[in-house]
Structure 1
Amino acid sequence: MTLPRIVMPSRTTVAVALAAVAAAAVAGTSFWRSFTAIAELAVAYKVPADQAWMIPVAVDGLVVVATVAAAVARHRVARSYSWFLLVAGTVASVAGNGIHAWQLTGSPIGVGIAVLPPLVTLAAVHLTILLARQDNNVATTQSRDTWPDPIVATLADSDDRTDATPPRPVTRLRVAPATSPRPAATPRQDHSPATPKENATDAELRTVAIRRVVEEGKTVRATGAELGVSKDKVQRWVTAHRAATAKDTAVAG
């Protein structure tokens, strides 16, 4: 029976998780303080007590939602709109906390302390999202680093290979998808040379050139163009062949 392998999280993953939990806790406490201040301000301005909680939820909730949207949005229009709502919600939350503190204390220091919770909420939520995204990136990188090593095999090239020769790595080949067979090519009817120039010797080209000019009656220029050689060279081959033929005929006579 094979026991399942337990994969322990890395130190980086644990650190990111702890930081995210701490940032979420800070965001929660700051949200609660801002919630209380804006709810009391709403009650002071004749909002029913049983409905006063809706005002801070709408204001600070907009900050949280806009922060999440700005962090995860990919489209430029959606990101711009998310940042607009984020700025608008933050300004409204800061203003509500500041007015509430001024009414209670009448002190600039009290106002400064009161506007800290909405700003901390904004920063903590944004930091939490960034840490969560970093955790995902770390997990993805670790999964990529666990790819198997390349296969190494020993190839016997010949009988006289020594044991000290190091093995050569075998490269994995990609097999091309199967395709339908191509139709057979139609034979060419232009009497092209039997041997291409790049694979033929001068002797073979000379034989083909003499056959084209002497037996088939083609011109020297056309034969040279077909074989890829100059017409002067074809002319020399044909002249030498005719001279040799005439000499052999004279000797035989």
Structure 2
Amino acid sequence: MNSFARLRSVSLAVVAAAIAALAVAGASFFRSFTALSELAVAYHFPTEQAWTLPIALDGLAIAATASAAVAKTRRGRGYAWFLLVAGTVASVVANGIHAYELTASPVGVGIAVVLPLVTLAATHLAIELARQHRDDETEPGTDRDRDAAPVDDETELETTPAPVALLRVAPDPEPVAEASVAPKATPVARKPRRIATAGDGDELRDRALRLVADGVTYRDAGAKLGVSKDRVYRWVKEQRATEAPVAAAS
């Protein structure tokens, strides 16, 4: 309740200030309206249309002030401020001309040019106060909103911190015996190399000579017969040595 009363008192103060600002703006606007209307008649405006000049100048400044306060985009605010400056400068100059023609005194001119500036400032102040009053009434998260908000289970769940679960470290798993052991790869048995003996030396020699005659290399011939390539080479060399005298004798 205290928060509600405080908010209500602040709102009333803002409203009162806004009303006072509007009253000041109205008084200044009325005096500027009169001066600009007389200036329009002096420069041959029709009397029934003389009111259009103060409405055009001061009204433009007031409308631009309100637009600058509520504009949402940068381009809109820039254009509103441009119109605000243009309308204010035109109203100040027109009020100064009217005062100089009546009084020919710098003091009179100074008093006259203050009126449109006061109108502009008071209008802007009233708009800002009205916007603040609106924001105060619609501002979320105030004490009044918290007092009036019902508390339910979901609200308690959101505001109550959730308990922190303790993490338990799992023990190391016991080693599991392998169900079966993969059999080791059996090495491929190499074919034993045949070792020549003294009994079959002539047979091996003849076979080796035939293989070499057929174009087989010493190494391959020895591998087929189970002897070394050097022995095949000696057999071939001996054979050629025995054939050489026969060829020479014939």
TM-score, structure 2 as length reference: 0.60
Please name the residue that 1:36 is paired with.
34
**Within 2, Cα distance between the matches of 1:56 and 1:140?**
37
Specify which structure has the higher proportion of helix.
2
- Residue 138 of structure 1: CA displacement? 1.6
Please name the residue that 2:186 is paired with.
none
Structure 2: which amino acid aligns with 1:171? L
Residue 171, structure 1, aligned to residue 157, structure 2: yes
Please name the residue that 2:176 is paired with.
206
- Residue 170 of structure 1: CA displacement? 3.8
- Residue 202 of structure 1: CA displacement? 2.5
Q: Which gives a bigger RCO, structure 1 or 2 (Cα 8 Å, sep 6+)?
A: 2
Which deviations, in whole Å up to 9, do the C-alpha atoms of 1:136-163 show, x marking residues without a partner?
Answer: 12212377322237558xxxxxxxxxxx
Q: RMSD across aligned C-alpha pairs, in angstroms?
A: 2.6
Which deviations, in whole Å up to 9, do the C-alpha atoms of 1:77-122 show, x marking residues without a partner?
Answer: 1101111100000000000000000000000000001111100000
Please name the residue that 1:104 is paired with.
102
From 22, 47, 51, the equivalent of 1:24 is 22
Structure 1: which amino acid aligns with 2:176? R
Partner of 2:50: helix, strand, or coil?
Answer: coil
- Residue 172 of structure 1: CA displacement? 4.0
Matched pairs, number: 166
1:98-137 alignment to 2 at 5 Å? 98-137=96-135
Partner of 2:10: helix, strand, or coil?
Answer: helix
Identity %: 51
Partner of 1:206: helix, strand, or coil?
Answer: coil
Q: Structure 1 107/10 Cα, relative in aligned 2: closer, same or farther at 3 Å?
A: same
**Within 1, Cα distance between the matches of 2:172 and 2:103?**
107
Residue 89, structure 1, aligned to residue 87, structure 2: yes
Structure 2: which amino acid aligns with 1:11? S
**Within 1, Cα distance between the matches of 2:181 and 2:151?**
63
Partner of 1:117: helix, strand, or coil?
Answer: helix
**Segments ≥4 residues shifted beyond 3 Å:** 141-144, 149-152, 198-201
- Residue 214 of structure 1: CA displacement? 3.1
Which deviations, in whole Å up to 9, do the C-alpha atoms of 1:158-208 show, x marking residues without a partner?
Answer: xxxxxxxxxxx94149xxxxxxxxxxxxxxxxxxxxxxxx968422x534x
Q: Structure 1 103/170 Cα, relative in aligned 2: closer, same or farther at 3 Å?
A: closer
**Within 2, Cα distance between the matches of 1:61 and 1:101?**
20
Structure 1: which amino acid aligns with 2:66? V
**Within 2, Cα distance between the matches of 1:97 and 1:79?**
27
TM-score, structure 1 as length reference: 0.59
Structure 2: which amino acid aligns with 1:84? F
Please name the residue that 1:50 is paired with.
48
Residue 10, structure 1, aligned to residue 8, structure 2: yes
**Within 2, Cα distance between the matches of 1:143 and 1:201?**
53
1:122-201 alignment to 2 at 5 Å? 122-141=120-139, 144-145=142-143, 146-147=145-146, 148=149, 150=151, 170-172=156-158, 201=172
Please name the residue that 1:242 is paired with.
none
Moved more, 78-87 or 138-147: 138-147
